[in-house]
């Protein structure tokens, strides 16, 4: 690897690509290599750049990401893919450093790393510790209710909302969305199932909020179905211990309400501009119910922030650089 690593963002002009570029362009410890706008779809030129740099970050639709990977001939170049194309693929390491013990080391040594999705990041951050520690069994039925800012839908959805706001009053509306949210089969479910340790996929209902950026992922737990349900404090302690040494995962104090707006409302936008995911545990031991909530920036820890974190790990740089 060169003294100053060279980075090529393939798909630099997209929503995630622009966010990553803005984070990396301020740094003097790396060199960003860009392709001419007129050659962005030129496979020969892309192949030349892909194989001439140290790390390629793919910010492309799935098919275009697969095409980019097929152009790799240099076994020294590392690939960080932000699409969904390779998140559960053999030979690829999942880029969620906090997911399991040893995950960070796998990312550091891998040639191919897949950047997690925003919804799966929030979901896995909540549920993985409980499955890993045996607090919940693998056959526990899980549902996920989540809301993201409309920037999570990329350029097309951003344009639709921008057009809508020119003709309609901006409100606080919430929209369960489209074929994925209302007819199931969301592309993130496979990833959520694969890395959670659950025996069956979670039932996932995503929504789009009438705000640009931010995210809440809610996982209700009907503990009353268990013969010996864990208390809310046991659930909290298990999650807090799991992430006790992780700088980008914040487990908020149990029963602490000061991080809620007016001690009542969870603001989906509170983590915007950061690479943190916050986890809340709410519980009622009398009714044997609990609720796990993850709050994150869908374009931060849910996308570009996570990509920069993974890039730093892949380059053996301090993990927090640029974050």
What letter does residue 211 receive in the DSSP assignment? S
10 DSSP β-pair partners: 58
| Catalytic, out of 20, 80, 118, 323 | 118
Full DSSP string of 10-39? ETTTSHHHHHHHHHHTT-SSSEEE---GGG
Look at residue 210 in the predicted model and tell me its pLDDT. 81
Cα separation, 10 vs 159, whole angstroms? 22
Res. 296: pLDDT tops 50: yes
Res. 158: pLDDT tops 80: no
Better-predicted residue by pLDDT, 255 or 321: 321
Res. 304: pLDDT tops 90: yes
Look at residue 13 in the predicted model and tell me its pLDDT. 83
The pair of three-digit structure tokens given for residue 296, joined into one six-digit string: 């994150």
Better-predicted residue by pLDDT, 308 or 177: 308
SS3 content of the chain, % helix, strand, coil (to 5): 35, 20, 45
CATH superfamily of 6-116+303-314: NAD(P)-binding Rossmann-like Domain (3.40.50.720)
Cα separation, 317 vs 300, whole angstroms? 19
Give the tens place of pLDDT for each residue, 66-77.
999 999 999 999
Res. 40: pLDDT tops 80: no
Look at residue 15 in the predicted model and tell me its pLDDT. 83
* Average pLDDT value for the chain: 89
The pair of three-digit structure tokens given for residue 313, joined into one six-digit string: 């790990």
Are the C-beta atoms of 220 and 189 separated by less than 8 Å?
no
SS3 71: coil
Categorize the per-residue pLDDT at 237 as very low, low, confident or very high, splitting at 50, 70 and 90.
very high
Q: Minimum mean pLDDT among 73-82, 144-153, 173-182, 300-309: which range?
A: 173-182
Mean pLDDT, rounded, for 55-81: 96
E-strand ranges in the chain read 6-10, 31-33, 55-58, 78-81, 93-94, 112-114, 143-149, 174-176, 203-209, 215-221, 249-251, 277-284, 289-296
Res. 160: pLDDT tops 80: no
Cα separation, 55 vs 111, whole angstroms? 9
Better-predicted residue by pLDDT, 2 or 128: 128
Res. 178: pLDDT tops 70: no
The pair of three-digit structure tokens given for residue 272, joined into one six-digit string: 């915007």
305-314 vs 15-24: helix crossing angle, rounded to 10: 50
59 noted as active-site residue: no
Look at residue 91 in the predicted model and tell me its pLDDT. 96
- Asked whether the domain spanning 118-299 has the same topology as the one spanning 6-116+303-314, the reply is no
Res. 14: pLDDT tops 60: yes
Res. 168: pLDDT tops 70: no
Look at residue 161 in the predicted model and tell me its pLDDT. 56
Are the C-beta atoms of 219 and 123 separated by less than 8 Å?
yes
pTM of the model: 0.90
Categorize the per-residue pLDDT at 179 as very low, low, confident or very high, splitting at 50, 70 and 90.
very low
CATH of domain 118-299: 3.30.360.10
Res. 251: pLDDT tops 50: yes
Res. 8: pLDDT tops 70: yes
What are the residue ranges spanned by the domains of the chain?
6-116+303-314, 118-299
Res. 155: pLDDT tops 90: no
Res. 144: pLDDT tops 60: yes
Give the tens place of pLDDT for each residue, 130-139.
999 999 999 9
């Amino acid at each position: 690897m060169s003294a100053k690593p060279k980075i090529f963002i393939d798909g630099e002009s997209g929503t995630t690509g622009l966010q990553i570029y803005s984070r990396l362009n301020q740094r003097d410890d790396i060199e960003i290599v860009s392709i001419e706008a007129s050659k962005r779809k030129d496979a020969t030129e892309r192949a030349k750049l892909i194989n001439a740099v140290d790390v390629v970050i793919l910010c492309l639709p799935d098919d275009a990401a697969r095409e980019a990977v097929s152009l790799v001939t240099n076994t020294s170049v590392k690939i960080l893919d932000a699409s969904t194309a390779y998140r559960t693929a053999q030979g690829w390491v999942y880029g969620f450093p906090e997911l399991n013990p040893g995950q960070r080391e796998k990312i550091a040594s891998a040639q191919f790393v897949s950047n997690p999705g925003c919804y799966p990041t929030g979901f896995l951050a909540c549920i993985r510790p409980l499955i890993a520690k045996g607090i919940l069994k693998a056959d526990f039925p899980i549902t996920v209710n989540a809301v993201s800012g409309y920037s999570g839908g990329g350029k097309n959805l951003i344009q639709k909302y921008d057009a809508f706001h020119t003709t309609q009053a901006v409100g606080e509306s919430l929209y369960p969305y489209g074929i994925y949210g209302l007819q199931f089969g969301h592309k993130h479910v496979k990833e959520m199932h694969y890395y959670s340790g659950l025996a069956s996929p979670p039932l996932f209902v995503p929504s789009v909020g009438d705000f640009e950026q931010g995210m809440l992922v809610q996982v209700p737990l009907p503990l009353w179905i268990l013969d010996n349900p864990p208390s809310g404090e046991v659930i909290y302690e298990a999650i807090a211990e799991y992430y006790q040494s992780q700088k980008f995962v914040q487990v908020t104090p149990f029963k602490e309400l000061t991080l809620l707006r007016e001690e009542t409302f969870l603001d989906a936008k509170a983590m915007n501009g950061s690479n943190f995911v916050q986890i809340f545990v709410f519980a009622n031991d009398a009714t044997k119910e609990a609720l796990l909530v993850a709050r994150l920036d869908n374009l931060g820890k849910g996308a570009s922030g996570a990509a920069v974190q993974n890039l730093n790990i892949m380059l053996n740089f301090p993990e927090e650089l640029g974050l």
